[in-house]
């Protein structure tokens, strides 16, 4: 272990890591394929358990398209979401910062009295930088970073938005949340028919086909709602799973079906890239916003706990990256990286300059098979939540193999050595030197994040306001 002087020096930096796939049309696609900026497809799924891909150990489900995607490039075995829930991780992906440093320590929701974040208007988002170097930028799917201007996708750098503004969908077919219709095409409210996964898949395919006729590179951010609750797969997919898996429970069968249906959609999007001749020059990144929700049957493999928890099952996620001719098929990395690292990685791949402070660090050298020393940095996770959490934040911090974790606000901090105790079963004593080191680093991060407001405006608890 390095001495504390080195450790403190590393903390003073406090700079805050991701995954990718692609394959091989139109004449426009062929014209730009050689030596030009890559297209970028960023796939973010919602609440996928670490053990809920067949390539990550699942025995009762089949995810051939996602497995092929990951096998076509680099698989990450130590990749982490920036939070154990939705909005904060999305904020980190699009800003390259810790979520509490851009005003999103918790979930952004419809009702102000239960809303725990407001995206900082000063934050620079990924599509803004990509547009400067010639990209057309689009989001198809779940936004979850604001319900009204100035925090809607078209306000924050996206040229095209076709998807869902809100958080969870109360019904995958009706597309409502608390009675509000949050489906949009640009700024127009729409009311399409069909399962949300099928809609996002088809809209992505439509976008890819349109862009294949242009020489302009594109960035397509595809955040699916699935497999987030409600666990509502098409009925024929459930029947197929039950026919194949004879001993599966009804609860698990529904989740497996929702994941397999999602995988089928991902396969169709990847097929569209190939059919349009774009796949040979497209970087595709796949990851999840947090771990799986245990109460609906998710499997986080050997990891402790799940969604909402700061133990490994809540924040460690399956991730893969592929880029034909750039990333070696079948390669693997055990590098520790976070969602926020995808921001500088994508910028590096696109040739976009970052001239402001971020916390993420590029992993492009790792993806390209080049030497890249392990990062010497402290890492932090935060979630602020209402309900049983009382509006209080809880945290985790990591340096090297050591992790300090508070799983809910009312539990004590625990220190683990993840190398020796990956299942987080044996907390180390509080007098361990790394306890105070991580505690001090976390305290200083909290001080720094305290300068960034996360509330939209004061709340009248007696008369809660909606958006």
Give catalytic residues, as residue numbers.
Answer: 86, 144
Task: Identify the sign of the CA torsion 375, 69, 244, 171.
Answer: positive
Do 353 and 344 contact (CB within 8 A), yes or no?
no
Residue 21: HSE in the Cβ half-sphere, 13 Å Cα cutoff: 25
Instruction: Compute the distance between CA of residue 460 and CA of residue 389 in angstroms, rounded to an integer.
Output: 19
* Contact of 62 with 260, CB cutoff 8 Å: yes
Residue 79, helix vs strand vs coil: strand
Strand 414-417 and strand 39-45: pairing? unpaired
d(C-alpha 299, C-alpha 302), whole Å? 9
Cα–Cα distance for residue pair 201/169, rounded to 1 Å: 16
Task: Determine the Cα–Cα distance for residues 76 and 70; give it in Å rounded to an integer.
Answer: 9
Please state, in angstroms and as integers, the Cα–Cα distance from residue 29 to each residue in 134, 208, 212, 350, following that order.
Answer: 16, 11, 6, 17
Q: Is 155 exposed, middle or buried (0-12, 13-18, 19+ CB in 10 A)?
A: middle
CA distance to 91, 114, 154, 185, 224, per residue, from 107 (Å)? 10, 9, 21, 23, 17
Per the structure block, which two tokens stand in for 425?
């079963």
Q: Which residues on adjacent β-strands are paired with residue 222?
A: 43
- Rounded-to-integer distance, Cα 142 and Cα 139, Å: 8
b/e per residue, 45-78, with b = 16+ CB within 10 A?
Answer: bbbbbbbbbbbbebebbbbebbbbbbbbbbbbee
Neighbour count for residue 178 (Cβ, 10 Å): 12
- Judge contact between 229 and 308, C-beta under 8 A: no
Residue 459 burial (CB count, 10 A): 15
DSSP letters for 271-287: HHHHHTT-GGGEEEEEE
Spatial separation of the C-alpha atoms in residues 258 and 235, rounded to whole Å = 10
Nearest residue to 44 via CA among 161, 125, 142, 131: 142
């Amino acid at each position: 272990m390095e001495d504390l002087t080195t450790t403190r020096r590393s903390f003073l930096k406090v700079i805050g890591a991701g995954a990718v796939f692609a394959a091989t049309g139109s004449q426009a696609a062929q014209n730009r394929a050689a030596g030009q900026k890559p297209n970028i497809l960023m796939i973010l799924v919602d609440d996928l358990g670490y053990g809920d891909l067949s390539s990550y150990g699942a025995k009762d489900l089949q995810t051939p398209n996602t497995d092929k995607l990951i096998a076509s490039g680099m698989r990450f075995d130590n990749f982490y979401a920036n939070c154990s829930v939705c909005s904060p991780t999305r904020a980190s992906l699009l800003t390259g910062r810790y979520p509490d440093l851009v005003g999103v320590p918790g979930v952004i929701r419809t009702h102000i009295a239960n809303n725990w974040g407001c995206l900082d208007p000063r934050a620079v988002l990924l599509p803004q930088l990509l547009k400067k170097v010639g990209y057309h930028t689009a989001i198809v799917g779940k936004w979850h970073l604001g319900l009204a201007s100035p925090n809607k996708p078209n306000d924050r750098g996206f040229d095209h938005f076709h998807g869902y503004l809100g958080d969870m969908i109360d019904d995958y077919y009706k597309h409502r949340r608390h009675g509000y219709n949050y489906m949009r095409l640009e700024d127009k409210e729409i009311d399409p028919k069909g399962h949300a996964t099928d809609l996002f898949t088809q809209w992505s395919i439509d976008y890819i086909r349109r862009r294949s006729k242009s020489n302009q590179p594109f960035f397509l951010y595809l955040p699916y709602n699935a497999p987030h609750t409600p666990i509502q797969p098409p009925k024929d997919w459930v029947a197929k799973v039950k026919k194949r898996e004879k001993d599966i429970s009804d609860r698990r069968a529904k989740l497996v079906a929702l994941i397999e249906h999602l995988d089928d959609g991902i396969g169709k999007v990847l097929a569209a890239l190939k059919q349009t001749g774009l796949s040979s020059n497209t970087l595709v990144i796949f990851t999840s916003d947090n771990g799986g929700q245990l109460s609906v049957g998710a499997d986080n493999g050997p990891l402790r706990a799940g969604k909402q928890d700061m133990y490994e099952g809540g924040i460690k996620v399956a991730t893969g990256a592929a880029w034909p001719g750039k990333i070696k098929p079948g390669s693997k990395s055990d590098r520790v990286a976070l969602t926020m690292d995808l921001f500088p990685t994508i910028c590096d791949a696109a040739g976009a300059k970052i001239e402001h402070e971020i916390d993420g660090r590029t992993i492009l050298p790792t993806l390209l098979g080049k030497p890249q020393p392990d990062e010497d940095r402290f890492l932090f996770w935060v979630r602020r939540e209402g309900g049983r959490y009382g509006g209080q934040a809880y945290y985790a911090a990591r340096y090297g193999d050591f992790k300090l974790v508070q799983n809910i606000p009312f539990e004590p901090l625990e220190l683990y050595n993840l190398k020796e105790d990956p299942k987080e079963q044996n907390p180390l004593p509080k007098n361990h030197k790394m306890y105070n080191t991580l505690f001090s680093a976390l305290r200083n991060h909290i001080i720094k994040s305290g300068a960034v407001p996360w509330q939209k405006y004061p709340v009248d608890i007696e008369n809660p306001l909606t958006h």
